[in-house]
Structure 1
Amino acid sequence: MHTVSVIVPTYNAEDFLPTCLEVMRRSGDDGTQFIVVDDHSTDATPHILDAAVRRMPTLTVVRNDTNVGVARSRNIALDVADGRYLTYLDVDDWYGHGHLEALVRAIQDLEVDFVRTDHVRVDGYQRTLDRAPEKHRGVPLEAASGIGRAGSNAMVDYPFLWAGIYDTTRLPRDLFLFDESLRTAADRPWFWRLYMKAKSTAVVDLHGYFYRKDHNPRALTQAGNAQTLHFLDASARIRDLVVPAGRAEWTTKAAYAAARICAFHVTRRSRLSPELQAELFLRSASLLASYPHSTMDDAIRTLSLSQRMVARALVRRGRAS
C-alpha cells in the first residue's frame, strides 16, 4: 500500500504533459503512486506516456477505450489507487517543490478526514495567491462548518479538488465517486456531499499548488457549448442532496449558490449560441423556482444588487411557467 495516490486525468495534453511528468518525477518516492488516466487522447499524449512509464516506477497509466470525461476517468482511477491518502493534480497545473510531501504531512499531523489548502493562480507571468475561505488555520474543524450560510463565501464554495488531500481510511468510498453524467461542474456536488457527510477537516497554509487559469483551450469550462450548461445539472444535484437533509440554513445556502451561479452565467451568455442561451434562461428559471419560495426569496436578498436583479427575473419567469 502506498502512502498517497495522486490521480491525474488527461486528454490531448501533449503541450502540458512533459511539465506534469517532471513534477511527478521530482515529487514522488516509494510511497507515492501517480495514476494518469488517458481519456482516449488523439494527439501525442499516449506516446509521451509510453516513454514515461518505462522510466518512472511511481507512474501507473490507465487508458480509456473511449472518451468518457473527467468524472468517469477519476472514478476509474479509484479502482487502481491503493494509497491511504488521495489527492489530485490537473495535467496543466504543477506542484511547487516539497508541496506533496507537506500535504501528506499536514493530514497525518492533524488526523482529520480531509485537509484543504490555498493555491496560486497562474495567468501568464502573473502569480496570485488565492486563499481558501476559512480563517481558522491548522486546527481540526467540524466538516459541516465548511458549508457556511447564504451570502457567505465558505469552503463548499471553493470547488478545487486538487487543493486538498483525503484520507481513504476515514471516509467511505462512495464519497469519492463523481457523477459521471456531468462533464463539467462535477466537483460542486462532490464537495457538498463531502462537507455534509464527513466529520472533520482542516485548512492549512500551503501555497505550492499552481493552477493555470484558463490557459488550456480544451478546458470544457471555457468551451461555450452544451456541456457548459452542466452547471445546472450539478446545481440540481446539490438541491437534491440538501433539501432532504432538513437543515434550513443548508437549503438557503444551496439556493443562494444556485441563484448566484445562474446569474453569473446569464451575464456571460454571449459566448453561447442563441439556442443555448434560450435553454440557459429556461432551465435557470426552472431551477430557481424549484426551491421553496420563501427560501429562494431569502437567499436572493443576500446577493449583490446586479445578481439580485437577474435572479429575481429568473424566479418570476420560473414561477409563472
Structure 2
Amino acid sequence: MRSPLVTAILPAKDAGAYIATTLETLARQFDDPAVLKLVAIDDGSRDDTGALMRRHAARFPHAEVLVNAEPRGLASARNQGLAHVEGEAFCFVDGDDWMQPQRLAVLARRLRELDADYLRTDHVTVTAGERSLVRAPHPWREVVASPRDAILPATETTMVDYPFAWAGIFHRRIIDRGLAEFPAGLFTAEDRPWIWRLHLQAASFAVVDAPALLYRRGVTTSLTQVRDRRQLDFVRAMREVVEIVEADAEAERFLPKAVWSSLALSAHHLVRARRMPRALRAEMRTGIVGLLRALPGGEVAAAVRHLDGPRRRVLARALRESGHGA
C-alpha cells in the first residue's frame, strides 16, 4: 500500500447534519485512495459527528479519528491534526463544507509543479441553495510570488483579508518552519494571526485554479453565525496580528494594513454586537476600545480617512473613547 501524499485535517463539532457529505467528497479526491490520509478530530460533539467520522474513516487506507471529551475550539483542534500529518502536503477542511472531485489531486500536482510553500484558491459559498464564487483577491494566477508582496495595498482587500484555512493546500515545510499552527484557544478569528504570519514568513505562494471547495453559509452552529462570548476572541486575534507585524523587520511598511484591518473588523463586530445581549454588547465595545487604544495614533488617523462613511460612523464613539478622536 502506498504512503500518503496529502493529509486532510478535518475538525468538527456537532456537524452530524453535514459531515457525511464532507467525508464522502474526501473519498473522491484521488484515483488511488491510499494517497490521502484523513485526520478527523471530533471536538467535543454531542451528536453523531464522531460516529460518522469513524464509520467513514474505515473507507480510507490511512485514517485517524481523534476525540476531545470537551470542545477545545477550532484552532486547537486543527493544531492537534497537524501533529498527525504524513506526506508532503496537507490541507484543512471544515465539517460542514465539501469539495468537488479531484480538487486535492489537482492541488497536490500544482504544488509539486510550482514548488511553492502553499497554494490558495477561490471558493464557492452556498446559501440556501444559491451558489456564489468568491475569488481570492490576488490578480495573478498560476504564478509563484512572494507572500509579502500580496499583503498590500493597505486600504484594499488583499490576501491577508482572505484568511480561510480551507482555501488551499500547504507543503509540509510550512509545519517544519513553525508556520502552520493557529493561536491556541481562539474560538473565532483564529485564522487572522495565522494568515499574517504565513504571508510575512513563508517564502513563496501562488493562487491557482482547481475544482471548487464549497462553503456553507448560514449554518446555525457555525461560529460566523453565533453571537456569544466566542465572538470576543477577534480582539485578541487582532492584537496578535499587530504584535506579529510590529516584530517584523518591515513593520513600518505593513503596519498601516494591520491597523486598517483592525478598524474594518472592529466596525463589523460593533454592528453585529447590536443583536447581542446588553452585557455582552458592552463587553464587546470595551474590548474594541482597548484594541483601538493600543494602535498607533498616526496610523489610525490615516486609516480612518480611507474608511467609508458608514464604518466611520460606527467607529466614531469607540475612537473617541480610545483617545483617537472621531
Question: What TM-score does the superposition give when structure 2 sets the normalisation length?
Answer: 0.93
Farther off after superposition, 306-315 or 8-17: 306-315
Is 1:243 aligned to 2:243, yes or no?
no
- After superposition, the C-alpha distances for 1:232-280 in whole angstroms (9 at most, x for unaligned) are 1101110111123252231110000000000111122222111111112
1:154 aligned to which of 146, 151, 158: 158
Give the C-alpha shift of residue 47 in structure 1: 2.2
Is 1:227 equivalent to 2:230 in the alignment?
yes
Aligned-CA RMSD value = 1.7
| Counterpart for residue 13 of structure 1 | 15
Deviations 1:11-45 (A, max 9, x none): 11211122112112222421111111011222122
Distance 2:108 2:223 in 1: 30
3-state SS in 1 of match to 2:206: strand
**Equivalent position of 2:113 in the other structure:** 109
Structure 1, unaligned runs of 5 or more: none
Report the Cα distance in structure 2 between the residues aligned to 1:170 and 1:56, rounded to whole angstroms: 25
Structure 1: how far apart are the matches of 2:306 and 2:154?
7
Give the structure 2 partner of residue 2 of structure 1. 4
TM superposition outliers: structure 1 runs of 4+ over 6 Å: none
Supply the distance in 2 between the matched residues of 1:183 and 1:111 (Cα, whole angstroms). Answer: 33
Mapped partners of 1:82, 1:173: distance in 2: 16
1:253 counterpart = 2:218: no
Pairing of 1:51-90 with structure 2 (within 5 A): 51-90=55-94
- Report how far residue 305 of structure 1 moved: 1.3
**Are residue 285 (structure 1) and residue 289 (structure 2) matched?**
yes
Q: Which amino acid aligns with 1:18?
A: A
Identity %: 32
SS at match of 2:69: coil
Structure-2 residue corresponding to 1:22: 24
Which of 264, 267, 278 aligns to 1:263? It is 267
Moved more, 97-106 or 164-173: 164-173
Unaligned segments of structure 2, at least 5 residues: none
More deviation, 252-261/53-62: 53-62
Equivalent position amino acid for 1:162 in 2: W
2:102 and 2:211 in contact (8 A); partners too: no
Equivalent positions of 1:291-302 (< 5 A) are 291-302=295-306
Give distance in 1, aligned partners of 2:187 and 2:166. Answer: 17
CA gap of 1:312–1:297, structure 2 versus 1, over 3 A, is farther
Answering whether residue 134 of structure 2 is matched by residue 130 of structure 1, we say yes
1:33 aligns with 2:37: yes
Cα 1:320/1:260, change in 2 over 3 Å: closer
1:188: how far off? 0.7
Bigger mean CA deviation after superposition, 77-86 or 55-64: 55-64
1:176 equivalent in alignment to 2:180? yes
Query: What do the CA deviations read for 1:191-245 (whole angstroms, capped 9, x no partner)?
Result: 0000010111100122511111122x11122110011111111011101111232
Find the residue that maps to 1:224 and give its secondary structure.
coil
